[in-house]
Amino acid sequence: MKRLIQHRSDFWRRLILSYLALMVVIILAFGGYLTKHAQELHTQELSQENLHQLQRVQHVIEENYLNRYELSGLNKAMTTIRSSGPEEINFFLEHELAGNYSKVRSLSNDLSTLKMASPGLESISFYFKRSEIVVDQDYFYEIPANSPSRELLAHIDSQEPHRWFARSILQPDGTEQPLLSYIYTLPYRSKGAQVKGYMIIDLSVREVVGQLQALIQNEEDRYYIFTEQGALAVSNTLLDGGRQSDLSWMNGLLERAGPEGRTTLTSFEGKEVSLSAYQSNLGWTYVSLRPLNSITLLTQELKKKVWIISSMTMLIGLALSYAMSLGFHKRVQGLMLRLQSMLEVQHNKSLYDVLAGRMPAGEQPLPLRPDGLFVAALLQVEAPHTAEALQKQLELKTGSLPSYAVPVDSQRVAVIYCVDDLDGQEMIPHVRRELEHLRIKLGPEYGFAAAMGTVASGTEQIHISYAEAQEAMGYVFVFGMKLLIAYEELEHKQPISMELLDIQALENKLRSGDESLVRQHYAMCRDTLLQSNLTIDAYELLLHHMALALAKVVMDSGRGSFRLTSSEVIAFYRKRSLDETLHHLEQLSLEFVASQKGMGESLYERVALSVKTYIDERLDRDLSLDELADYTSYSKQFIGRVFKEQFNCTIADYMSRRRLELAKKLLSEKSHTIAEVAGMCGFRSVPYFTTKFKQFWGVTPAQFRDQ
C-alpha cells in the first residue's frame, strides 16, 4: 500500500485521509458514547463500593469507638444531677476550694483510674467555675490558664457542648497534639447561668487513626474525616509521619465530592483516583481518596472491550478509505487541482512573526520588500476589545504611506509603515503626521496612544523598531491616550532628581495629621511631575517611594481604623496612569490622616508615654531631642507638642524635675556624696547641680542633707 500511495498524487493521499477522518469521527462518536456509558457505570459502581466502605468506617469510628467514650463520660456527668452523687464533683460545683486539697486528690485519683481503664483516653478533666480550678487525672490547677486546655477554657462558654469536635494542644516540646474532645455541662445538660462546671473528655487522634488504619485494605487509600465546621479531624496519613495534603486542596475536597456520597474521578499526586464523600448523622463528613488501580471493577473490562472493537473498526475503515479513494480519484482530481491553485494564490501573512524577529521560510512570501525601509508603530486603545475595529480602519489604506496592520491583543495594534520614498530626515516626522491625521479622522470613538520606533533597514530589522516602539509605549502611563512619541525622544528624558525624592517631607506631613499639608504636598508633586521631562523609571521610582513613605507611617503609627496594611499599600498603589496613581495615593493618605484623628488621643498618649518612659530609664544621661526623635521615629516638633499636651510641661522641664526628685531621694539615703549624686542624676557640674537644686527645693543639697 505504501508503494502505491507514493505513486499517486497528493490529492489521492488527501482523499484517503478524508475518508479515514470520516471513519475516525464515526468510530469516535460511537466509541465515545460507549465509553461514556461505561464511565457512568464505572462511576456508579465506584460510588456504591466507596459509600459502603465509608459507612463501614463511620460505623466503627462513631458508633463503636466515640460512642463508647461518650457513654463512659455520660455516667460521670449523670451523677451531678443527684445530690447523692460523688462527693468531690458535687462539692466543687457548689463550694470554693478553701483548702480542700484532699477532695481534689481523691477526684484526681478517681480520674486516673478511669483513664487506665479506658485505652485511647488521652485526658479527662473537670473545670469548676465557682472555685476556678481545673482537675485532671494527673494534676490540678488553681489557675485555669496554666492547664493544657487553657485555649479551650478561654472560650468554653461559647463552645457547643455534648458534641465531638477537633482541637489541638501544645506539648512541652513545642509540638501540636491533635485531639478529639467532648464537653459535658455540669450539672448534666444544664444551660446558661445554670452551668456550674464542665467535664472534658480528650481522645488521642492517633488512637482513632489506629482504628481507621485497621479498616483499610490498601495502604495507598486515604481517608479524611472532617467535623461539622469543615476542620480536618482524622486522617490515616498521620501514621506516615504526618504526611498531609496542603490545606487548600483539603478544602477543595469537600466542595468537589459533596456530602451525598457522590463519587468523582480526579487526579491527585500524578495518579488517577476516585473521590467520595459521605455525611453521617453526627454531621461529620467522611472523604475517601482511592487510586483506581487499587479497585477491581467489572466496568473496567467493559471499557477495554470497547477500545479493542474501536481499534479493529479503525483498521477496517482504513482499508475501505483506500478502496473508495481509488475509485473517486480521477473524477475529482481536476477539482482538487483548481482548489490547490486558489490556495497557492493566498498570501501567508506572517507579519507578526516579523515583528517578533521570526522570519518566515522562503516559500512563504511577505508583502514587504526585504531591503526596504520601515518604521514600526504601536497603537493602544483605551477601551478593551476595540483594537479589532481600529485595525479595520487602518486596513482601509487612507493614508499616504503604505502600511500593514497587525493585531497584538485586545487593546493594541502594531503598524508597519513603508518609508522607502521619503527623505531620511522626514521619515519619523512623516509617520507622526500620518498618526495625527488618523487620530483626527477617527475622532474620540477610536482614541488611541501611539509610539514609534526608529527606521529599520530591511525586514530583518523590523523587530528592533517594534521593540523600541513597545518601550516608548511605556510612557502611556504618564501621558495617557494623548501620547504620541518617537523612540528617539527618550534620549532627552532626565533621570530622577534627588530633590524630588525628599520623602521625609511627606512622612512628616502625614504624621502631623494636617490634611491641608498633605493636599498641598500632592498638588506640588502633581504639578512638578507633569511639568518634568523624566524617564518612565524615574516616574515609577518616585511613586514607589511615595507609597513607601505612606506604608512606613502606617506601620509606625499603627493601622488603627485604616482599611489597608502597610504591605497592602505597597501592593495596590499603582493604577493605570500617573494622574490616577497620584490621586489614589492622595486619597489613601487623606483617609489615613482621617483615621488617625479618630484615635488621635490614644496615638498621642502612646508617643508621650514612650518618651516619658525613655527619659525615666535614663536620668543619668544627657538626653537630646534628636535622640528622642530617633527613638520614636517622629519629628522633634511633633514629640515636643504631644508631650506638652499630655503632661502640661515641656520635655526639658520634665527631665529637670525628675532628675531633682531623684537627687532628693539619693541625698536622703546618705550613701553617696553630693558629687556622686549629681553625676547619677545627669548633672556634669556640681555648682550647676547646687544652683538647680536650690531653685527647685529652696535649699542647697548640703542643707537638705543636714536637715
For residue 6, the model assigns a pLDDT of: 42
For residue 84, the model assigns a pLDDT of: 52
Kindly report the backbone phi and psi dihedral angles of residue 17, in degrees, each rounded to the nearest multiple of 5, phi listed first.
Answer: -65, -35
- C-alpha cell, 323: 478502496
pLDDT of 209 above 70: yes
pLDDT level of residue 343 (50, 70, 90 thresholds)? very low
Residue pointed to by grid coordinates 492517633: 206
In a shared domain, residues 203 and 221 = no
pLDDT level of residue 643 (50, 70, 90 thresholds)? confident
**pLDDT tens sequence across 525-557:** 888 887 788 888 888 888 888 888 888 877 766
Domain assignment present for residue 609? The answer is yes
What distance in Å separates the CA atoms of residue 152 and residue 125, rounded to the nearest whole number?
A: 12
For residue 204, what are the CA distances in angstroms to 64, 66, 147, 209, 286? 16, 11, 17, 9, 19
Kindly report the backbone phi and psi dihedral angles of residue 579, in degrees, each rounded to the nearest multiple of 5, phi listed first.
Answer: -65, -40
In a shared domain, residues 643 and 550 = no
Q: What is the pTM of this model?
A: 0.41
The answer to whether 185 and 161 are in contact (CB under 8 A) is yes
Closest CA to 468 of 505, 431, 433: 431
pLDDT level of residue 42 (50, 70, 90 thresholds)? low
Domain assignment present for residue 73? The answer is no
Q: Order of strands, edge to edge, in the sheet holding 232-235? A: 232-235, 222-226, 285-291, 271-279, 260-268
Residues 6+ apart with CB under 8 A from 88: 103, 104, 106, 107, 110
Q: Is 506 exposed, middle or buried (0-12, 13-18, 19+ CB in 10 A)?
A: buried
pLDDT of 294 above 70: no
CATH of the domain at 416: 3.30.70
What are the residues facing 407 on neighbouring strands?
A: 413
In a shared domain, residues 387 and 262 = no
pLDDT level of residue 134 (50, 70, 90 thresholds)? very high
Q: What percent of the chain has pLDDT over 70?
A: 79
Task: Show contacts of 537-543: CB within 8 Å, 24+ apart.
Answer: 537/495, 537/496, 538/493, 538/494, 538/495, 538/496, 538/497, 539/477, 539/478, 539/578, 540/477, 541/496, 541/501, 542/496, 542/500, 542/501, 543/573, 543/574, 543/578, 543/581, 543/582, 543/585
Q: What percent of the chain has pLDDT over 90?
A: 3
Least confident of 134-143, 493-502, 625-634: 493-502
For residue 149, the model assigns a pLDDT of: 87
Calculate mean pLDDT across residues 48-59: 79
In a shared domain, residues 444 and 563 = no
The answer to whether 80 and 173 are in contact (CB under 8 A) is no
What distance in Å separates the CA atoms of residue 434 and residue 421, rounded to the nearest whole number?
A: 15
pLDDT of 480 above 60: yes
The answer to whether 595 and 561 are in contact (CB under 8 A) is yes
- Distance from CA of residue 306 to its chain's centroid? 46
> 707 by DSSP, 3-state: which?
coil
For residue 556, the model assigns a pLDDT of: 67
pLDDT of 678 above 80: yes
Helix (H) or strand (E) holding 198: strand 197-204
pLDDT level of residue 252 (50, 70, 90 thresholds)? low
- C-alpha cell, 115: 483513664
Domain assignment present for residue 50? The answer is yes
Q: Cα–Cα–Cα angle for 214, 217, 218, nearest 5°?
A: 120
Domain assignment present for residue 340? The answer is no
How many folded domains does the chain comprise? 6
Q: Is 596 exposed, middle or buried (0-12, 13-18, 19+ CB in 10 A)?
A: buried
Classify the C-alpha dihedral 661-662-665-668 as positive or negative. negative
What distance in Å separates the CA atoms of residue 252 and residue 233, rounded to the nearest whole number?
A: 16
Residue pointed to by grid coordinates 457547643: 160
Least confident of 330-334, 369-373, 391-395, 491-495: 330-334
Least confident of 96-110, 284-298, 679-693: 284-298
**pLDDT tens sequence across 14-39:** 666 776 677 777 777 766 776 776 66
For residue 81, the model assigns a pLDDT of: 65
For residue 256, the model assigns a pLDDT of: 57
For residue 371, the model assigns a pLDDT of: 86
pLDDT of 559 above 50: yes
Domain assignment present for residue 515? The answer is yes
In a shared domain, residues 449 and 564 = no
Least confident of 464-468, 550-554, 688-692: 550-554
What distance in Å separates the CA atoms of residue 652 and residue 622, rounded to the nearest whole number?
A: 11
In a shared domain, residues 402 and 454 = yes
Least confident of 40-54, 76-90, 200-214: 76-90
In a shared domain, residues 487 and 377 = yes
Calculate mean pLDDT across residues 234-261: 57
For residue 327, the model assigns a pLDDT of: 61
Which range of residues forms the domain containing residue 663?
602-706
pLDDT of 582 above 60: yes
For residue 364, the model assigns a pLDDT of: 56
pLDDT of 247 above 60: no
State which of 188, 208, 228 marks the end of a domain: 208
In a shared domain, residues 21 and 89 = no
What distance in Å separates the CA atoms of residue 179 and residue 384, rounded to the nearest whole number?
A: 54
For residue 248, the model assigns a pLDDT of: 56
**pLDDT tens sequence across 61-100:** 887 778 877 777 767 766 766 655 557 888 888 888 888 8
State which of 187, 208, 229 marks the end of a domain: 208
What distance in Å separates the CA atoms of residue 681 and residue 350, rounded to the nearest whole number?
A: 85
User: Which DSSP symbol is given to 684?
Assistant: S
What distance in Å separates the CA atoms of residue 473 and residue 449, rounded to the nearest whole number?
A: 8
pLDDT level of residue 462 (50, 70, 90 thresholds)? confident
CATH of the domain at 285: 3.30.450.20
In a shared domain, residues 609 and 511 = no
In a shared domain, residues 374 and 306 = no
Domain assignment present for residue 123? The answer is yes
What distance in Å separates the CA atoms of residue 221 and residue 295, rounded to the nearest whole number?
A: 10
For residue 4, the model assigns a pLDDT of: 40
Most trustworthy range by pLDDT among 45-49, 337-341, 529-533: 529-533
Calculate mean pLDDT across residues 320-332: 62
State which of 556, 577, 598 marks the end of a domain: 598
CATH of the domain at 663: 1.10.10.60
pLDDT level of residue 450 (50, 70, 90 thresholds)? very high
What distance in Å separates the CA atoms of residue 585 and residue 594, rounded to the nearest whole number?
A: 14
> 222-226 and 232-235: which strand pairing?
antiparallel
pLDDT of 104 above 80: yes
What distance in Å separates the CA atoms of residue 84 and residue 186, rounded to the nearest whole number?
A: 15
pLDDT of 7 above 60: no
> 563 by DSSP, 3-state: which?
coil
Domain assignment present for residue 345? The answer is no
**pLDDT tens sequence across 268-289:** 776 777 778 878 877 788 887 7
User: Which DSSP symbol is given to 1?
Assistant: -
pLDDT of 505 above 60: yes
For residue 467, the model assigns a pLDDT of: 92
pLDDT of 387 above 50: yes
Least confident of 410-414, 511-515, 610-614: 511-515
In a shared domain, residues 359 and 488 = yes
pLDDT of 629 above 70: yes
pLDDT of 298 above 60: no
Mean pLDDT of the chain: 78
For residue 68, the model assigns a pLDDT of: 78
What distance in Å separates the CA atoms of residue 89 and residue 111, rounded to the nearest whole number?
A: 11
pLDDT level of residue 148 (50, 70, 90 thresholds)? confident
What distance in Å separates the CA atoms of residue 707 and residue 704, rounded to the nearest whole number?
A: 5
Calculate mean pLDDT across residues 358-376: 75
pLDDT level of residue 452 (50, 70, 90 thresholds)? very high
For residue 2, the model assigns a pLDDT of: 41
Cis bond upstream, residue 119 (ω within 30) = no
Domain assignment present for residue 320? The answer is yes
In a shared domain, residues 458 and 513 = no
